[in-house]
Amino acid sequence: MPQLRVALAQVNARVGDLDHNAALVLDRCREAYEAGAHLVVFPEMVLTGYPLEDLAMRASVVAASRAKADALARTLAAEGLGDLVAVVGFLDHAEGVTEGPGVPKNAPQNALAVMHGGEIVARQAKIHLWNYGVGDEIRTFVPGDVLHVLEIHGTDVAMVICEDLWRDGIASAVRASGAGLLVVPNGSPYEADKDDVRLDLCRRRAVEGDCALAYVNLVGGQDELVFDGDSLVVDAEGTLLGRTAQFVEELLVVDLELPAARRLMPPTDTRFAGLRITRTVLSSDPVAPYEPVAPPVLPRLDDLEEIYRALVVGLRDYVEKNGFRSVLLGLSGGIDSTLCGAIAVDALGPERVFGVSNPSAYSSEHSRSDAAELAKRTGLDLRTVPIAPMVEAFQEALGLSGLAEENLQARVRAVVWMGLSNQEGHLVLACGNKSEVATGYSTIYGDAVGGYAPLKDVRKTLVWELARWRNAYAEAHGETPPIPENTISKPPSAELRPGQLDSDSLPPYEILDGILDAYVERDLSAAAVVAEGYDPQLVERVVTLVDRAEYKRRQYPPGPKVTRRNFGRDRRVPITHGWREHLVKD
């Protein structure tokens, strides 16, 4: 059987930065070539970064992507890498499409360029566009209807892109094409437990397609998305042959024994399930037999570590890709801001993290001492700016009371943070968690202020779990646990009035998070939530809070998605609406 050495390039692309991404592809091609690879596969839209959103419909972006792809193919050959076959995701233009309602402007296509011998020898467009969850591709891409098969060193290789793999039917077309290897570039964002789903999917499709399958994904943060990599190769029986580490750039090199080309070759331009199958011969001679190397099969991280790393990578890339040098956050001594501080230190190093303690008349002594303890343990910079003088100045003019007075304190703190941010150049972090964002238990323009919100998709009970995990990880590695014990064990409080506790306003977080999981992440009706055993009055109260907090969520900073359904672009509900999930009759 013909042999093929395949390199999977798991890389961190930058959206819109074509020069950077082209240089990245060139470097990895060189590395793959030096490793003896015959074929190197990059993630979906690696040349432009992903997702481009509406930038994909700009004529200038489409033209730049196509020109850069042509130039890159020439450069690869000029650098002596022309024999290597490189599959490079890019933004292409669909030919022969008439503009009109429902056709994306400038007919952009999410495509793969197959680079070989200084040229683009084939272009494979994405067939099934991703248009659910955080995917919005139908508004920006024209779908393809062709399945390309490449003959490389005497074996047939087919290619499809990300969502194509999730849909039934494509694997049968690959089987009909006779290809022995299916390569699948992806831009598949992280969410908890998705790695298990992906491996199962790859195994199933390999068996259905009777082909080995190489799955290549992006890594790195992009606004609210974090790409986790998790690239892998299975053989035609679905056996896992190689798998990358998560959340880091890596080049995985795999040796495959594949069926000889044309084992089932259908006539040229056969149509199968609406697809035209077409074929391009790059090289028919098998490579000389060689001793295969066993690739690594790296284990998955455990659940908490995986989420923690997603938060760290998401924050780091948001800061760096947006050109900030440092972050600033209010440190109250509470669990949310303390965990954010630990994540920031892990992402950027302590010298790039600036904490501010803003004690008020209602702040406990431990709010200061716990913040100081975090600074001592991690080395982040901490300063103290008491807010009483500013609060008093407002109160002399306004005489606010109740909730208005509570919110005033939170907003005065935010003005301090933003002032320091403007003066010194830090990105401000909003430290609220998903349970607060869900219920609106935050002050808009107060603690909700910031450029990025690391815990936006982390429910409160998971905040505690991650804090405990991070400390245990430090202990297991002989380091100082960053989170003060008292911060983990004390009852949560906003400290905006004397003796205030979260439990005055909200149910216990174990119960609240259970209801939120059912109502938000699993999209159950309120009645179905009650059927899971929760108190009807409490459920009605919580779902009403969630429904009414949408106006706050719209103005909340972006934060990394780690669950199946966050409060970013994958849950779109109106602010203004009269829908109520009534359970309790008046």
Query: In this structure, are residues 149 and 279 in contact, taking their beta carbons and an 8 Å threshold?
Result: yes
Please identify, using beta-carbon distances, which residue of 18 and 463 lies nearer to its own copies.
18
Q: Is 407 annotated as a binding residue?
A: yes
Q: Is 194 annotated as a binding residue?
A: yes
Please identify, using beta-carbon distances, which residue of 17 and 257 lies nearer to its own copies.
17
Q: How many CB atoms lie within 10 A of CB 89?
A: 32
What values do phi and psi take at 128, rounded to 5? -105, 120
Q: How far is CA 416 from CA 111, 412, 484, in A?
A: 47, 6, 25
State the nearest-atom distance from the C-beta of 222 to its own copies, in Å: 6
State the nearest-atom distance from the C-beta of 297 to its own copies, in Å: 27
Please identify, using beta-carbon distances, which residue of 320 and 465 lies nearer to its own copies.
320
Q: Is 445 annotated as a binding residue?
A: no
Peptide bond connecting 51 to the previous residue in cis, omega within 30 degrees of 0? yes
User: In sequence order, what DSSP letters do the residues of 385-405 get, joined into one string?
Assistant: ---HHHHHHHHHHH---HHHH
Cα–Cα nearest to 109, from 94, 130, 87: 94
Give, for 502, the enclosing helix (H) or strand (E). Answer: helix 502-505
Give, for 15, the enclosing helix (H) or strand (E). Answer: none
Query: In this structure, are residues 414 and 445 in contact, taking their beta carbons and an 8 Å threshold?
Result: yes
Please identify, using beta-carbon distances, which residue of 272 and 445 lies nearer to its own copies.
445
Query: In this structure, are residues 51 and 568 in contact, taking their beta carbons and an 8 Å threshold?
Result: no
Please identify, using beta-carbon distances, which residue of 267 and 389 lies nearer to its own copies.
389
Report the distance separating Cα 240 and Cα 158, nearest Å. Answer: 19
Please identify, using beta-carbon distances, which residue of 422 and 486 lies nearer to its own copies.
422
Please identify, using beta-carbon distances, which residue of 485 and 523 lies nearer to its own copies.
523
State the nearest-atom distance from the C-beta of 27 to its own copies, in Å: 17
Catalytic (active site) residue 510 = no
Q: Which of 162, 211, 340, 431 is catalytic?
A: 162
Report the DSSP beta bridge partners of residue 199. none
Q: Is 217 annotated as a binding residue?
A: no
Report the DSSP beta bridge partners of residue 252. 8
Q: Which of 44, 151, 163, 191 is catalytic?
A: 44
Tokens standing for 525?
A: 């009706």
Q: What is the DSSP code (8-state) at residue 450?
A: S
State the nearest-atom distance from the C-beta of 33 to its own copies, in Å: 27
Q: Is 336 annotated as a binding residue?
A: yes
State the nearest-atom distance from the C-beta of 101 to its own copies, in Å: 5
Q: How many CB atoms lie within 10 A of CB 480?
A: 11
Catalytic (active site) residue 162 = yes
- In the sheet that 39-41 helps form, which strands lie side by side, from edge to edge? 119-125, 108-116, 85-93, 39-41, 3-10, 250-257
State the nearest-atom distance from the C-beta of 144 to its own copies, in Å: 15
Query: In this structure, are residues 304 and 469 in contact, taking their beta carbons and an 8 Å threshold?
Result: yes
Catalytic (active site) residue 211 = no
Cα–Cα nearest to 244, from 255, 256, 232, 226: 232
Where do the DSSP E strands lie in 170-274?
Answer: 181-186, 212-217, 219-222, 225-228, 232-234, 240-243, 250-257, 270-272
Q: Is 367 annotated as a binding residue?
A: no
Cα angle, residue 564 at apex, residues 560 and 565 outer, rounded to 5°: 75
State the nearest-atom distance from the C-beta of 389 to its own copies, in Å: 5
Query: In this structure, are residues 338 and 454 in contact, taking their beta carbons and an 8 Å threshold?
Result: no
Active site residues: 44, 126, 162
Binding residues for ATP, as ranges, are 330-337
